Structure 1
Amino acid sequence: MENTVNTTPETKKKRVLSMIQPTGMFTLGNYLGALKNFVALQNDYECVYALADLHAITVRQNPAEFRKNTLSAYAMMLALGIDPEKSIFFIQSQVPEHAQLAWVLSCYTQFGELSRMTQFKDKSAKHADNVNAGLFTYPSLMAADILLYNADYVPVGADQKQHLELCRNIAERFNGLYSPTFVVPDGLIPKTGARIMSLQDPTKKMSKSDENTAGFITMLDTPAEIMKKFKRAVTDSEARVYYGENKAGINNLMGIYSCITGKSYDEIEKEFEGRGYGDFKTAVGEAVVKELEPIQARYNELIKDKAYLEKCYSEAAPRAEAIARRTLQKVMKKVGYLPVAH
């Protein structure tokens, strides 16, 4: 029998789950690679978003700075356009079911699977003085984050595909042992977005942990700082704007300009035909300044309104927990735990 799609207004939207760590101000790379798409997804999906502060402590945090960064990240997400009425947007540590399910799932995750995670190897090398158990079991917590909410889709970049595949394996393993319990999620490749690279070393991803601060743009950089960084961006000696091999710097700038203006690479090549890199860098910088201006203005309003921010995340946590609790209770029963007596 042929499947038909119900297009009536009652059709249930698919659920998307995505989380981001609140460790310092987001970069232009975070914005164009993922966060801008978070906002767009709200129109077509039921969205559950969170600040992954449990994940953040695999690296040592200064407590006062960590609290400040979490609040700042929450305000920035709202400034970007995350709608707390339309989406559930909560702080991970305020929903204890994440840690509870993570423990259960860690018992259904094989040591060999975790030891093969490339991100564990990379971060272990980078933080050799603090290779803790949380860093090792990070993917089990990530699986719990996703599976708690019966997410149909998880937006993924290249560096998260391995984690999502492990999450799917854990879900299928548990479902196979105890009958269908979890929705097995699929990756969602964003329609727009790009892997934004460092302005100083375009072979590396743009990151706020870059020792060279000229390599990344933060969402709160001033127009003068943004223009200065783009004017100093690494390019090549050809002085011709086009996308091609051995042009990593220009390819990166074209990706940024394309994401913001919506112009194709062909259109960008025509626009800057016969013009030098100086003109192109200026145009990219100005486009970024214009894009971030209203976001920064909204952020500056929100960060001063602590009461509103607290209201938003305080109301979001119970909404998230209501979904998470149902899933956890189902899991606890299937594993064989005694129910809590009321």
Structure 2
Amino acid sequence: MKRHRAVALYSGGLDSTLAILAVLRQGIEVKAVTFMNHFGCDVSDRSSCSKNPFAAAEKFGFEVKMSHLSWKFLDIVKSPKFGHGKNMNPCVDCRILMLREAKEFMEMSDAEFIVTGEVLGQRPMSQRRDSLNIIDRESGLRGSVLRPLSAKLLKPTVPEEQGIIDRELLYDFGGRSRKPQMALAEEFGLTEYPAPAGGCLLTEPNYAYRLRELLDHNPNPSYLDLQLLRIGRHFRISPGCKVIVGRDHSENDALLKLSDGKSPLMRVLGHGSPLTLLVGRTDEQAIRTAAALCARYSDARKLGDVDVRVISGVSEGLHICVIPAVDFNIEQFKIEKKVRDRSLQRT
């Protein structure tokens, strides 16, 4: 007899792992797919959609395919049909995109339905009952998306109606509590799983503000532009030029690694100093402004004149003597969302 097969959306987190185990228990073969994007959903990051997907797969015996959504995802970030959340997160459109991609994988894999770890009511934008209905409809998968953790709170899906899945072996989890999932993990012998995180970078106020500001000035940013949004203090000194100042040793290293070798990268000589990168169209005035900002955040900030050197890029070797930037310059140029809870930002 042919063994039934399903495709699962798999993040490596607790919910998606449990959903797969619930289906495996019923004798279904599962092929999992982990989608990545440029905004924190990557196995090298620590967001809730980017946990290492291989540990549980190896332990419980299911296959994982990695797939990058690339610029398809950026398109929905720019203009989501169903809107953004509180920041730049297009959660409903994100799920639709992933399910559309999974549908193609399902058809190529000769699978019959899709499995997700969504829990009704857990996330305010994409896991409401009405949102789940929209997601299934827009992805062209109405009736073919099984959500094992909340299945008993939802209408029966096609695989349940056809007897491929026993509905009685599914669950009725709802809301934000993780206690039911933790108890189920113990039952399945799933002993190692990540703690929940805040979500992708698009849900973070300051990152989202920087992204929106970038898109206002550059509707088609490069991969480097997006990576740099995570690092340092950002200053818009002209419509076509930004300055990024490292905040600590790790960010200096990151700027050094991400530098394209053409954009001016500078530091203060003879003192503890951040690395400072210019991105975009630069001229003499832009370089002097960047040097003043670099000096302001260095150990030489209280000196009258500071020697700043361009250590790589088109102006490599150039020395600039500047007065460190004052608070007015910082407030004038800094790209930062003003929020009441300062703990939401690194300053």
If asked which structure has higher relative contact order (CA below 8 Å, sep 6+), I would say 1
Q: Report the TM-score, using the length of structure 1 for normalisation.
A: 0.34
Greater strand percent: which structure? 2
Q: Report the TM-score, using the length of structure 2 for normalisation.
A: 0.34
